[in-house]
């Protein structure tokens, strides 16, 4: 399959940048999720810290983590 994305620059610069940097953003989200997972699994966060870690992990769509 071949996919070609077309953008009208500069009007669609933000969309172009999002498409161009998407894989890098996915990698960063994966790294963040792994760090949060590690903190909750192997660390000993309690109270607000644990809740915050769980909430942040829940915000990352699972589809983005399957890379």
| Residue-wise DSSP of the chain | --------TTTTHHHHHHHHHHHHHHHHHHHHHHHHHHHHHHS---THHHHHHHHHHHHS-HHHH--
Mean pLDDT by runs of 10 across the 67 residues of the chain is 95 93 88 88 80 87 71
pTM beyond 0.85 = no
23 CB-near residues (< 8 Å, 6+ apart):
67
What pLDDT score was predicted for residue 2?
A: 96
What pLDDT score was predicted for residue 39?
A: 86
Closest CA to 64 of 18, 39, 33, 21: 33
């Amino acid at each position: 399959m071949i996919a070609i994305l077309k953008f009208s620059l500069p009007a669609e610069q933000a969309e172009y940048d999002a498409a161009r940097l998407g894989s890098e953003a996915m990698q960063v989200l994966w790294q963040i999720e792994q760090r949060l997972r590690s903190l909750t699994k192997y660390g000993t966060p309690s109270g607000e810290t644990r809740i915050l870690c769980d909430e942040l992990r829940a915000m990352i769509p699972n589809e983005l983590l399957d890379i």
